[in-house]
Amino acid sequence: MSLPTLLSQHIVRRPQRIALLQHIAEQGSITRAAKSAGLSYKAAWDAIDELNNLAQKPLVERSVGGKGGGGAKLSSEGERVLRLYQKLQTLQAQVLEAAEDASDLDLLGRLMLRTSARNQLHGTVRSIEGQGRNDLIRLELAGGLILDAQITHDSTLRLELEPGTEVVALIKAGWLDLLAIEAPVIPGHNDLAGVIEEILDAEDGPSEVRIGLPNGQTLCALAEPLNLRTRGLDVGKAVRVRFAASYVLLGTPL
């Protein structure tokens, strides 16, 4: 799955979120950009994480705690994607004019993938190893980061996976376990080192934890506040993110 394919699907599904790039370029602040785009501050951060995770290179460069709730600017790649988006807006207007019936657009909308998984990471299949009825799919994410997914062999065939295939890895936030950075690596699991960028506490329930990975992508995890305190995990601390390969779902375009 190529970057243009991923972003074009994202634009069709959520034009408000991709348009956030324009607001960031104009406002230079996450808070002001969110207000201009009609998003909450949290939704703006979620959108930035999703855009950065789906791209080969981060589209938005950000700093926490700046004036106005955190500074933000487009990277050179973000500026390029914004230009593509502006061109797509022109093409989109032409498609709307050409549609024979409103139901045509509804049909296209139903065919686009939506998922409740908070973490969506773009990657490329590096290798496929048979394990009985299952296959271990090794993915290479941006920056050379490695991620393993375990799926059935039938799923490998149905998705037509082979080395070089571009996919989106989907991981629910509740499936991630956060450990101290010195915790030992367990074979057969994904163990990613990162830094806690933000902890959003909830009135009732687990906290939402954003973890920045070395390649610029971001993971979102859910963790009980007591567990975070017990393990000495706080904003700015290094953390190990662990999850089984079987918890990674893979998606490809239709």
The ranges assigned to domains in the chain are 3-111, 119-171+247-251, 173-244
- Asked if residues 167 and 1 have their Cβ atoms less than 8 Å apart, the reply is yes
Domain 119-171+247-251 has CATH 3.10.50.40: no
- Residue type (1 letter), 182: E
* 3 pLDDT higher than 60: no
- What number of other Cβ atoms are within 10 A of residue 200's Cβ? 11
What's the chain's average pLDDT? 83
13-31: average pLDDT: 79
Average pLDDT estimate for 198-208 = 89
pLDDT in tens, 166-195: 998 999 999 999 999 998 888 889 999 999
- Per the model's pLDDT, the better-predicted residue between 15 and 71 turns out to be 71
110: CB partners within 8 A, 6+ apart: none
Reading phi first (left if > 0) and then psi (alpha if -120 to 50, else beta), residue 68 is in: left
State residue 151's pLDDT score. 95
- Read off the pLDDT of residues 28-80 as tens digits, 9 standing for 90 and up: 888 898 888 888 888 888 888 888 888 878 888 876 554 545 578 899 988 88
Give burial (CB, 10 Å; 0-12/13-18/19+) of 199.
middle
pLDDT tens digit string along 225-254?
A: 999 999 999 999 999 999 999 999 998 865
Q: Residue 234: what pLDDT?
A: 95
CATH of 3-111, one of 1.10.10.10, 1.10.3720.10, 3.40.50.2300, 2.30.30.60: 1.10.10.10
The pLDDT of 151-160, averaged and rounded, is 93
pTM: 0.67
DSSP letters spanning 100-137: S-HHHHHHHHHHS-----SEEEEEEEEEEEEETTEEEE
Per-residue pLDDT tens digits for 90-138? 766 666 566 555 555 555 544 445 566 789 898 999 999 999 999 999 9
94 alpha carbon, distance to own chain's centre: 30
Distance, CA of 184 to chain centre: 26
- Tell me the fold of 173-244: OB fold (Dihydrolipoamide Acetyltransferase, E2P) (2.40.50)
For residue 196, what pLDDT is reported?
A: 97
Task: Give the pLDDT score at 141.
Answer: 93
Give the pLDDT of residue 92: 61
Q: Which pLDDT belongs to residue 80?
A: 87
> Which residue in 32, 3, 25 sits closest to 124, CA to CA?
3
Q: Which helix (H) or strand (E) holds 95?
A: helix 76-98
Task: Please state, in angstroms and as integers, the Cα–Cα distance from residue 45 to each residue in 15, 218, 219, 239, following that order.
Answer: 16, 10, 12, 20
Domains 3-111 and 119-171+247-251 share a fold: no
Q: How confident is the model at residue 7 (pLDDT cuts 50, 70, 90)?
A: very low
Q: Tell me how far apart the alpha carbons of residues 22 and 250 are, in angstroms, rounded to a whole number.
A: 30
Beta bridge partners of 1: none
